[in-house]
Structure 1
């Protein structure tokens, strides 16, 4: 599945109106793929992210649930995709603490329903169509739990999820593995570190801090701010997914990291400095003075770090952005796309769902 052969081939993408899925869909259409984009349009699904694709025959949007077996079967039969990329998931840890049932419903039961429908579709394929087919499941490094001050997660790290969100993703990963082992379904799993970049819903750390800092609001930081994450620019993540689709070995897992470990407080301070330079506050004061430490999240994992050497060695992928270049691009994007943010914050982005 190299890029040169992607023209006229069909990818079935689930969760393609969300942050990572939306970025992936925009890039895939630009590369010549035909995309069937299924999204339930929960609060984080935003059709405005896909506005540039409106009216393009290469992008078919369908509002629906991965747990709807009849719908999935119909879409597979109608569009005959060469691969599935599953982004569909509830993904916010704080929300999983408040209401874990929705995470189990989508991330576990929904993934199971999707796998069963895809297995049945794949079984009916013949020749090269069956041999070349892939099901790629997008997951998270949070399934591995929390690291101490040293070491990194590898594909062999034992699962030890610490939040309801992480537990639900771990369960979905195990289901994907089981469908490969039991039925022979040619699956691929990717476990990524924390993503950032354009079109991210502003409940996540980086867009939340950017938006609050722009208007001079208090900047909330959990605990002592020293929790460490490996930050991955979303464009690099999407490029890695394409590489795994093109050359990954069925049944394998590939970790995707940004090689950019940073303490949360360091991330917040860098955003403050960038905005002070690009959009100073009216009173001219430094935005770091707005930092406010708040009660830590229950069970907050201390450190994540990804070892991507398997992906680099087998498939030649490496991140193209450092954290400094990626965060500068991200800040610029939010400064230049304030209407997108405003429509999320005032809820008007939901109006586009009518009739979707």
Structure 2
């Protein structure tokens, strides 16, 4: 099976590609624009594989996307390319509209034309898997409530609204044109190779450098945390075994308040990095509370029983085991994140003409 992965140089996309190359016999075409969050160094361990190919292409560029499909002839698409940072979407929503909505539309149209031209057997086997987020569902007010696949959409930020729009487009292309689509909505991912602007890596790296740990509001926002490698396994299972036209929620069964997450990280660092930066007596002393994000949702929580029941997937990592692995990875891979922080991962890429 040859799978075209859009956004394969991103955090989740690179985990998916590493999983496919290391654990399956499928091959991968990585289509990525290489924005600031795209980092080919996250794929160093698999990039020399004969089953891996890379195409630097913007999903909004229809001619180039058509070329990639013509040249590589994929059997399935896993669509992860997206702008995904909520704070950035509040400051500059245009890029989110362009990539997440216009880009998804462009990709769907290229795929529809390509799919119609396949031989009967390949036409029947083809799959388009759209990877989305639990943020499309909005806020959960009832503390006992969970997001179901049937939960109405109520996005709060420009980011989640753009992802909700892309989900609707995918469903429309399935309903109207018969395109064989699948959708997954996941909870907050964490793990190795996570771009340092996101909560968990930001807190780890700030603490290691003796910087403040900024927590929005009172830090009582609740999120369900999913280890990225568990997510990658789930996504491959959906694209290979999922039922056409279905949606699957993917969660880690780990609801935590943001402040609890930060304190857990501080406690782990006390154990794993006891030699603190100058002037720091306890990592927890670095916690500082900042003005809350506009429109900040209070609680997300996923019911992942459908994917467990229908496809037999459950997460292997608990929050405790996954967060320890994550902290240990960042401590052992300083060169990776330091090159992200100082921008050298991008400068060298540009110098090489990529």
TM-score of the pair, normalised by structure 2: 0.97
1:282 shift after superposition:
5.2
1:74 shift after superposition:
1.2
Aligned residue-pair number: 348
1:128 shift after superposition:
2.0
2:316 is matched with which residue? 320
Name the CA distance, whole Å, in 2 between partners of 1:87 and 1:203: 18
CA RMSD, 1 decimal: 1.0
Task: Give the stretch that moved more between structures: 131-140 or 345-354.
Answer: 345-354
1:23 is matched with which residue? 15
1:353 shift after superposition:
2.5
Q: Does 1:90 align with 2:86?
A: no
1:35 is matched with which residue? 28
Can you list the C-alpha shifts for 1:188-218, whole angstroms capped at 9, x where unaligned? 0000000000000000000000001112111
2:63 is matched with which residue? 70
Is residue 47–residue 352 contact of structure 1 (8 Å, CA) maintained in 2? no
Instruction: Give secondary structure in 2 for the equivalent of 1:169.
Output: helix
Is residue 41–residue 353 contact of structure 1 (8 Å, CA) maintained in 2? no
Is residue 210–residue 277 contact of structure 2 (8 Å, CA) maintained in 1? no
1:310 is matched with which residue? 306
Out of 337, 340, 347, the residue aligned to residue 344 of structure 1 is: 340
Name the CA distance, whole Å, in 2 between partners of 1:268 and 1:142: 21
Name the CA distance, whole Å, in 2 between partners of 1:58 and 1:247: 21
Q: Does 1:137 align with 2:159?
A: no
Can you list the C-alpha shifts for 1:258-277, whole angstroms capped at 9, x where unaligned? 00000000000000000010
1:57 shift after superposition:
2.3
Runs of at least 4 residues off by over 6 Å: none
2:227 is matched with which residue? 233
Instruction: Give secondary structure in 2 for the equivalent of 1:53.
Output: coil
Instruction: Give secondary structure in 1 for the equivalent of 2:301.
Output: coil
Is residue 272–residue 287 contact of structure 1 (8 Å, CA) maintained in 2? yes
Is residue 257–residue 306 contact of structure 1 (8 Å, CA) maintained in 2? yes
1:288 is matched with which residue? 284
Name the CA distance, whole Å, in 2 between partners of 1:39 and 1:50: 12
1:5 is matched with which residue? none
List runs of 5+ in structure 2 lacking aligned partners: none
1:27 shift after superposition:
1.2
Instruction: Give secondary structure in 1 for the equivalent of 2:45.
Output: helix
Is residue 223–residue 299 contact of structure 2 (8 Å, CA) maintained in 1? yes
